[in-house]
Amino acid sequence: MLPRIGISVGDLAGIGPEIIYKTFLDQRLLKFCTPVVYGTAAVLFGDFPHDASHEPLTFRQVREAADIAPGKHNAVTCWDEDYHLTPGQPSPASGTAARLSLQAAARDLKAGLLDALVTAPISKENTQADDFRFPGHTEFLTSFFEARESLMLLAADDLRVATVTGHIPLKDVPGRVTKELLTAKLRILLHSLKHDFGIEKPRVAVLGLNPHAGENGLLGTEEADVVTPVLRRFQEEGHLAYGPFPADGYFGTRQFKQFDATLSLYHDQGLIPFKILAFERGVNFTAGLPVIRTSPDHGTAYGLAGKFQADETSFREALYMACELVRYRKSEAEIKPLIPGPAPRSARND
């Protein structure tokens, strides 16, 4: 069965609808997945120009995900209002639509009606409401799926960069980076590299918090107090986890090529170099959830909205990754029961 990929539309005043529309102009994608867009197709795509070189893009509008048609473009109605939106100008209506789309898709993913979720960009400020007090997709989905922790993991080919802390003020980072949190995030990363990306013995680098990774305590002690003890514990367990590395030299000398993933300690430390290296094709994957969620690695880009100039590459890559992860997890689930476990103690010769 083709993977059923739910798609939340993001802020309608941004480029979300455009990159979704451009992606699915390629009808060959229907051979890889069944797309399910959460929103009203007429509102999302009604004003887009039609290209004579492509067949008209049409969606089956349904009320419930249970009624989607395999191998077709589907749209699930999650609002009845006839929104009037201006591209590039976020409004309460565009924020409400983004929130309703995300919540409806998440509910269907939890119910097993979808195999994965791809989220178009939202405005974190414009999406806030009494029933939505989250700084981003990652935090909402972590709470909704009752995960103890999750991990923001940016990926493009063999480049993978994760972050210990996410959408928090920079001044709060040192207090948040504890041994317990670093341990939890590193375990999620190692598990995901093995079980989502098929890397049997992953090599992971951890960055330092301070300039020059603290310069042996001269520029800060977080490395000696937190990072090094955690890494020593993982190494004793047999993991290939190394650091702490000074972030500037690590990326500047392309040392990251020696590792399967890099764990940064705060948002910009990891995402700035990642986006310089792979902005057009990067994918944001939320590791640590019981479900699969990916997204493009960019924001709403209000300045491009309505011009039909947005690049859909990152969204397309997010869709591809979601499909690949669905297939990989299913194949692993099918193979796992066939792998014999250790013999009962009574049957051993020791």
Q: Are residues 133 and 189 in the same domain?
A: no
**Of 234, 252, 285, which marks where a domain is finished?**
285
Q: Are residues 174 and 185 in the same domain?
A: yes
d(CA 133, CA 135): 7
Q: Are residues 27 and 157 in the same domain?
A: no
Q: What is the DSSP string of 289-313?
A: SSS-EEEESS---TTTTTTT----H
For residue 227, the domain's CATH number is: 3.40.718.10
Q: Are residues 166 and 118 in the same domain?
A: no
DSSP 344: P
Query: Dihedrals φ, ψ of 48, to 5°?
Result: -80, 145
Q: Are residues 19 and 48 in the same domain?
A: yes
Q: Are residues 171 and 211 in the same domain?
A: yes
Report in angstroms the alpha-carbon separations of 315 from 16, 128, 160: 9, 23, 17
Q: Using an 8 Å Cβ cutoff, are 100 and 40 in contact?
A: no
Q: Are residues 82 and 31 in the same domain?
A: yes
Q: Which domain holds residue 89?
A: 1-147+289-350
pLDDT tens string for the chain (350 positions)?
A: 899 999 999 999 999 999 999 999 999 999 999 999 999 887 787 677 666 666 778 899 999 999 999 999 999 999 888 777 889 999 999 999 999 999 999 999 999 999 999 999 999 899 999 889 998 999 999 999 999 999 999 999 999 999 999 989 999 999 999 999 999 999 999 999 999 999 999 999 999 999 998 788 888 889 999 999 999 999 999 999 999 999 999 999 999 999 999 999 999 999 999 999 999 999 999 999 999 999 999 999 999 999 999 999 999 999 999 999 999 998 877 776 544 444 333 333 33
Note the pLDDT of residue 350. 35
Q: Using an 8 Å Cβ cutoff, are 297 and 321 in contact?
A: no
d(CA 38, CA 97): 10
**Bridge partners of 5?**
35, 116
Q: Are residues 33 and 132 in the same domain?
A: yes
Token pair recorded at residue 302: 């209000």
Q: Are residues 208 and 316 in the same domain?
A: no
Please report the beta strands in the chain, taking only residues with DSSP state E, as ranges in sequence order. 4-8, 34-38, 60-62, 74-76, 116-119, 151-156, 159-163, 203-207, 240-245, 261-264, 283-287, 293-296
**Of 267, 285, 303, which marks where a domain is finished?**
285
Q: What is the CA radius of gyration of the chain?
A: 22
Q: Are residues 84 and 205 in the same domain?
A: no
Neighbours of 324 (CB within 10 A): 18
Q: What is the pTM of this model?
A: 0.90
How many domains in the chain? 2
**Of 254, 285, 316, which marks where a domain is finished?**
285
Q: Are residues 231 and 301 in the same domain?
A: no
Q: Are residues 140 and 130 in the same domain?
A: yes
